[in-house]
Amino acid sequence: MNTDQNKFPCSYFTDTKPLLLENGTSIDELTVAYESYGKLNQDKSNAIIICHALSGDQFLASKNPLTNKDGWWNRMVGSGKPIDTDKYFVICANVLGGCLGSTGPTSINPSTGEEYGLNFPVITISDMVNAQMRLIQHLKIDKLLSVIGGSMGGMQVLEWAATYPSNILSAIPIATSSRHTAQNIAFHELGRQAIMADPDWSGGNYIKAGTNPTKGLSIARMTAHVTYLSEASLTKKFGRRLQDKEEISFGFDADFQIESYLRHQGLTFVDRFDANSYLYITRAMDYFDLEKTHRKSLTEIFEKTNIKFLIASFTGDWLYPPSENLMIVRALSAGGADVSFVNIESDKGHDAFLLEEPEFDDAMRGFINSVSTEAKIL
């Protein structure tokens, strides 16, 4: 993984003011890599920040320079789309701890002149949001029209709403939770152990050693990817169909299409993601517990908030099931918040928010337009 932060064609913000982290340490020099779409209006009232998930990045609606593929939310963000860039100024930042330009394990530690590696401090979702806030302040935006994100992005949205309620008008947490469950922590631990068991991980110093734990990271991705799907979607897409053969081989090659698919997912992931970043970001998700961080119940955190919320979940999502999202809705309602809830019928699993779901698109467009109208965005 190339550690040159300027290798990625996007915008960069660097702050030499130390960023205090939740663990009590600090990052002395912060860099945030980000993409923006649309134009900021004269009174800076049309800005939306979109927070990406674990395997996402800042290239949500533009070509990814590593894969040359369309952005991960290209169908949602753009001219005339539910998040309309003809009307809104959309920002997406690579998270703190990421590997596409923002300060993370592959960055150069200014005190040593070498990559951080495992000397990078353990971070949290709160730290990611505080880094994003530095970017928003740099852009001189006082209030965001909306903060939006799915999965880990949804965690960031909740953290934004809890920490900076006066700086946002609306929040859309999608397919997420207010704290990571034991099951989700378990899946992440499987991935981390796969990475650390790879001899090429070299105790986290693989860049210096000239190695790369691709096998471990590939397995981590394969494990995680299964959780993003559903049994129905796997059966519909693959079933027990064989891969380029008519009979089983009585061996351990990829006999089934699902095996070949997962191996492909793992192999392509290692070309665009850093193994240590995977460790740090999954750990941040595991540590996420909004009530513990703010030392209040969910209801107390959002009591009397003026933020308008749209919570969205999907019936086929077993990673962050509707019940987890509904718990947030109930807490918001109990605190008197203005909250809408949509539970989309879908068999596509957790990844449904990234895929074609017309009902979800309509809900997004309607809610954002409603907030925009109320805020008198022209």
Confidence at residue 367, expressed as pLDDT on a 0 to 100 scale: 98
Q: For 82-107, how does the pLDDT look when each residue is reduced to its tens digit (9 = 90+)?
A: 999 999 999 999 999 999 999 999 99
> Where in the sequence of the chain do the CATH 1.10.1740.110 domains occur?
185-281
Can you tell me the distance from the alpha carbon of 287 to that of 281, in angstroms, rounded to the nearest whole number?
10
The pLDDT of residue 278 is above 60: yes
Under CATH, domain 5-180+288-374 is a member of which superfamily? Alpha/Beta hydrolase fold, catalytic domain (3.40.50.1820)
Catalytic residue among 151, 178, 233, 313: 151
Q: How many residues does the chain have?
A: 378
Q: For 54-71, how does the pLDDT look when each residue is reduced to its tens digit (9 = 90+)?
A: 999 999 999 999 899 999
Across 255-269, average pLDDT? 91
> Where in the sequence of the chain do the CATH 3.40.50.1820 domains occur?
5-180+288-374
Q: Is the CB of residue 59 less than 8 Å from the CB of residue 77? A: no
Across 222-245, average pLDDT? 91
Beta strands in 120-232 (DSSP E): 146-150, 170-174
Q: Is the CB of residue 374 less than 8 Å from the CB of residue 258? A: no
Enter the pTM of the model. 0.95
Active site residue 350: yes
Confidence at residue 377, expressed as pLDDT on a 0 to 100 scale: 82
Q: Number of C-alpha atoms within 13 angstroms, CB side, residue 252?
A: 0
* φ/ψ (deg, to 5) at 161: -65, -35
Confidence at residue 3, expressed as pLDDT on a 0 to 100 scale: 44
Instruction: Compute, in degrees rounded to 10, the torsion defined by CA atoms 40, 42, 48, 52.
Output: 30
Q: How confident is the model at residue 246 (pLDDT cuts 50, 70, 90)?
A: confident
What is the CATH T-level fold of the domain 185-281, as seen in this structure?
Answer: Rna Polymerase Sigma Factor; Chain: A (1.10.1740)
Can you tell me the distance from the alpha carbon of 174 to that of 342, in angstroms, rounded to the nearest whole number?
10
Q: For 316-368, how does the pLDDT look when each residue is reduced to its tens digit (9 = 90+)?
A: 999 999 999 999 999 999 999 999 999 999 999 999 999 999 999 999 999 99
Catalytic residue among 52, 180, 188, 350: 350
Per cent of the chain over pLDDT 90 is 90
Q: Is the CB of residue 280 less than 8 Å from the CB of residue 312? A: no
Coil/strand/helix, residue 92: strand
Catalytic residue among 317, 346, 351, 372: 317
- Alpha carbon 202 to its chain's center: 27
Confidence at residue 74, expressed as pLDDT on a 0 to 100 scale: 97
Q: For 142-201, how does the pLDDT look when each residue is reduced to its tens digit (9 = 90+)?
A: 999 999 999 999 999 999 999 999 999 999 999 999 999 999 999 999 999 999 999 999
